[in-house]
Structure 1
Amino acid sequence: MKHPQPLVQLRERLSFCMMRNMSNSPADASPSQPYVSAYEMGVEPARSSWPTIIGVLGIAYAAVGCCMQTAGVAYANFNAQIMKLQGVDVQLPREMTLAMNVQGGILIPLGVLLAIGSIFILRRRAIGPKLVLLWAAARLIMAVVGFAWGIMTIDVQVKFTQDTMNALANSSNPAIAKAMKEQLASYDPVTLRREGVRNLALTTAAFTIVPCVMGFMLTSKKRKAEIAAWGQTAV
C-alpha cells in the first residue's frame, strides 16, 4: 500500500533535518550547516501553558477588582443612606468620597484593559502582553498615589472612624450600641492611627504583587521570544 505523497515528503524532510542536526556537533559545525529549528522543519513546537495561566488569572483578577471598585463607588455615594439603616447619622468625609470616586473611575477602566489583554494572551496575540504591561505600570502608579493620599488623609479617616463609633454607641439597636460602647472603652486614637498606617501599607503592598508578577513573567527573555512568534502561530 502506497503512502500518501505529502506524508512521504514530510518523512523525508524530517529525516534529512534530523541527520543535519545530528552531524552539526561543535566539532564540525560550520556556517554551511546551520541548526535547523522546529519552525524550519515545518513542525510546530509544543505550546506553553503560561499564556493560559496568566490569561485566566488576569480575567479573574480583573473581574474581582472591578466588582470591588464598583462596590467602593456605591458606598462612597450612598454611605449616608447605608448608615441610616443602622440607626446612625454619619456622612463620609469629602476627602474620602473624592478619593473613592476617583479611584473607582480610574481602576474600573484599567480592570477592563486587563481583561482585554488577558483574553488576547489566551488567544496568543502579541497585543495581549502589551496591554497587560500597560495595566501593570498604571496599577503600580495608582498604588503609590493611593498610598500617598491615604497618608495625607489618615487623620480624616481616624476622625471618621471615631465619629462612626460614637454614633453607633448611641444607636437605637441595643446590640449594636452595647458592642460599640465596649469598643469605645478601649479606644485609643493614637493606636488607631498607627494601625491605619500599617493596614494602608499592607494593603498597598498586596495590590502591587499581581502587577509585579505579571510584569516579570511577560518581560523575561524566554517569553519575549515566544511572544514575538505569536504573529505566525496565533489561533
Structure 2
Amino acid sequence: MLINCVLVISCVWWGGVVADQASVTLQDNGFDGVLIAINPTIAEDPRIITNIKNMFTRASPTLFTATKKRAYFRNINILVPKTWTNGSYNEAIGLSYSKADVIIAQANPQKGNIPYSEHTGGCGEYGRFIHLTPEYVVDNMEQIFGDVEKVLVHEWAHIRWGVFDEYATEGHSSHYVDTDGVLQGTSAKSIELRDSPKPILVLSMFTMSNNPD
C-alpha cells in the first residue's frame, strides 16, 4: 500500500563536534541516515532546499516500486552551509560534508549539469556519493535528463548496490563477446541486493541542519 509522503522539518544552528556519521541503514524497508550536503561555496538559495525535499519525496515511491516494495527513503538529513543565514537549522552533531551520500556542488567541467555518481569499485560495491549541481536541483532539467525521481533512483543504485549503467557509456562499445564467444549487448547484470527487508508503507521524512565544515 502507498501513502502520501510526510515531511518533518526541524531547524537550529549547528554547534556540535564533528564525528564519523553512521552509515545509511535499512530497517523495516526504510532507508535512514541518508545525508545530502550542500557545498559551502554554493550561494544561499531557498529553492535548493525546497527542491531537494520535492525531489526525494518523488523518488521515494519510485524506489519502493523499483525494488519490488523492498526499500524507500524514510529519513534524510540536509546539511546546509554555515554561511546560509536566512533560516534556523538543526544541530548537526556527527554530520559532515565529507560523509555525504549526495552532494550539491558546482559542476564538474567534464560533466556539466549531468547528475552522476562517484563509483570506482567493482560491481556490487558501495559508491562514494551522488553529485548534483545547484542548477540541476533548481531547474530539474527533466526535458534533458528525464524524470528526476528516476534519475535519483538510478544514481542511488550505483552508490548503494554498485550497479553499473545498463547502457554503453563513453569510450565503451555497445556490444561485447562473452566467454562463450557469443555477441552480447551491454546491459546491467542481475545481482542479489544486500538489502532485503519485508514490504512496508512508503514514508519520507526530512530534517535540515547546518554544515560544520
- On whether the aligned pair clears a TM of 0.5, the verdict is no
**Which structure shows the bigger proportion of residues in helix conformation?**
1
State the TM-score bracket (shorter-chain normalisation).
under 0.3
Q: Which has the higher contact order (CA 8 A, sep 6+)?
A: 2
TM-score by length of 1: 0.25
- Name which one, 1 or 2, has greater alpha-carbon Rg: 1
**Which structure shows the bigger proportion of residues in strand conformation?**
2
